[in-house]
Amino acid sequence: MSATTPAFAIEARGVRKAFGKNVALDNLDLRVAEGRIVGLIGPNGAGKTTALKAILGLTPYEGELRVLGRNPYLERNAVMQEVCFIADVAVLPPWLKVSQALDYVGGVHPRFDRAKAEAFLAKTNIPRDSRVHKLSKGMITQLHLALIMAIDARLLVLDEPTLGLDILYRKSFYDTLLNDYFDHSRTILVTTHQVEEIQHVLTDVMFINRGRLVLDCSMEDFESRYVEVMVRPEQTAAARALKPMHERQVFGRSVFLFDRPDRDQIAALGEARTPSIADLFVAMIGGQQGAAA
């Protein structure tokens, strides 16, 4: 491999998965380069969960899928030596004590560093002798994260990891992930509906809809490519003439979203800014969902 050719932590080509007549993945193509933090965003039923299950080797599929250079379904044991996963629901046994969770992971995973896990837990208020069912949802997530971050894994997959947590726990979760775990050699793939909170974390964003990837963009390209403008009323017709990809109303003003516009023309219309991922998601996916309905 040449120095200019990126290595891919995940590479899918024509991946298809159907449940009867319901096609969950429709010839999905995607590439996740190593050392990136990628947000996989999609509406309910878009194929996110099925894609994650395929990546984790939990379901068979048609097509070609490589995770860290291996077939995840046929070589799952080898793949899971280098992959960690946090689901949207707690999977730790409720009767398990915190200290026992450390003992268990240390006994089954050769890359687990107990001292590192203890150091992460020292920053929390989690009692070592408490059982999982006595912990709050936020504490369970912190425990999960401490266990995962203490494993020397190359790929971390997060499926709605902060679901149900309050804003303080959510911020703490992503701060810890960035400051104490991510080192530009690991790869993180995260799915979430709380896209506004992870925009500053991501290096890349992908939109999935109806089992296909409809956007694959680095955040650098995102910020240079898309522009949102709150247009002055007298410039509304001129803005529409430039064929925006989306229009919405905010406090009685028209807000237009453009893809690769002429910056000089845009500047004359009104106040311009980089849109949020959520704004672009609504612009791209909202119309498709409405058409399907």
Can you give the residue ranges of every domain in the chain? 222-292
Distance between CA atoms of residues 151 and 106, nearest Å = 9
- How much is the pLDDT for 197? 85
Low-confidence ranges of the chain (pLDDT < 70): 1-6, 89-90, 287-293
Q: Check: CB of residue 144 under 8 Å from CB of residue 90.
A: yes
Six-digit token string for 146:
């401490």
Distance between CA atoms of residues 94 and 134, nearest Å = 8
Six-digit token string for 242:
């430039």
Q: Which residue has the tokens 């080509």?
A: 13
CB atoms near residue 259 (< 10 Å): 14
**For residue range 7-56, what is the model confidence (pLDDT) as tens digits?**
899 999 999 999 999 999 999 999 999 999 999 999 999 999 999 999 99
Name the β-bridge partners of 216.
206
Residue 54 CA: distances (Å) to CA of 68, 71, 156 = 13, 10, 14
- How much is the pLDDT for 9? 97
Name 251's Cβ contacts closer than 8 Å, sequence gap at least 6: none
pTM: 0.89
